[in-house]
Amino acid sequence: MLICRFAPSPNGFLHLGHAYSALMNARLARAHGGLFLLRIEDIDRERSKPQFEQAAREDLQWLGLDWPRPERRQSGFFGAYRALLDGLLARGLAYPCFCTRGAIAAKAAGARDPDGAPLYPGSCRDMTPDVRAQKIAAGEKFAVRLDMARALAEIERPLTYREFFEGDTPQVMTARAALWGDAVIGRRDVPASYHLACVHDDAAQGVTDVVRGADLEAATGLHVLLQALLGLPTPDYRHHRLVLDEDGKKLAKSKGSKTLHALREGGVTAADARAMLGERMGTQF
Ligand code: GLU
């Protein structure tokens, strides 16, 4: 059975781009007699707020969506994520990184990962076990990074996945994980990162089709590598176009793009919102 999920981070109100993503998910599930699930990606304990989670639920219901199972909240699974991290550390495929953001930016010399963040120069990769142990004993905070070169060497073969974009015919894509360098898989504050929690949960929820915005397409290479390392299945991917604002820029919570919450409060109906998306995207829901 086809299983897909909409996975908002409750750090702001949802906007029309989220509505498009949720509707694309639900439409796919409906077309295949499958399941549409909701996952709350709240590993960021500082930025996640209950009022945004509640508003997301209400926005989705307002759009006419429902999900047959209780939503999964990532903050309830830190133990499971920690076990994955410990496994990768024990296999020598990950290592603790004590660097501050400033130190990384200074050493990255302008190199960037696909998210535009300074590419990690590998400073902590070859730290001796003694120095590492001393730092940990002294209570120094650390993130956990994937050792990309070792991870790729362990897998050996080129990794691929099936990509449908918004259509019905899959293309076989090469997973380009190396672009991320030694990516953070465990943050300083919590034993997970978006990438690790996402691949763990997609597998735990039995997700067969990941429907999400094109802004996450580059992350897929890293996700496919993590799945291979962790022995998890690789779902099919369906990255969709992003909804742009009047200036052709990506909608963003941080830019105060018109939220679904504000549209609702302003008396816009779900039918109006669907029509707006139909007009902008040429996709009828
Ligand atoms: N939580 C992510 C976001 O709100 C989505 C992650 C995903 O669909 O894989 O952008």
Q: Quick check: CB of 216 below 6 Å from ligand 1?
A: yes
Tell me what pLDDT residue 258 has.
85
Cβ-proximal residues to 242 (8 Å cutoff; 6+ apart), any chain: 17, 213, 214, 215, 250, 251
277 lines ligand 1 (CB under 6 A): no
Q: Which atom of ligand 1 is nearest to the CA of 8?
A: 4
Q: Is the pLDDT of residue 206 over 80?
A: yes
Q: Is the CB of 198 under 6 A from ligand 1?
A: yes
What homologous superfamily does CATH list for 1-70+243-284?
Answer: HUPs (3.40.50.620)
The CATH architecture of the domain made up of 77-234 is: 3-Layer(aba) Sandwich (3.40)
- Going by alpha carbons, the residue nearest to atom 4 of ligand 1 is 8
**Probe ligand 1: pick from 198, 215, 217, max atoms within 8 Å of CB?**
198
- Please state the pTM of the whole predicted model: 0.96
- Bridge pairing between strands 236-240 and 171-174: unpaired
Q: What is the pLDDT of residue 257?
A: 65
Does 131 score more than 80 pLDDT?
A: yes
What mean pLDDT, rounded, does the chain reach? 96
Domain with CATH 3.40.50.620 in the chain: 1-70+243-284, 77-234
- 5 CA from centroid of ligand 1 (Å): 10
Q: How many CA atoms lie within 13 A of 75 on its CB side?
A: 14
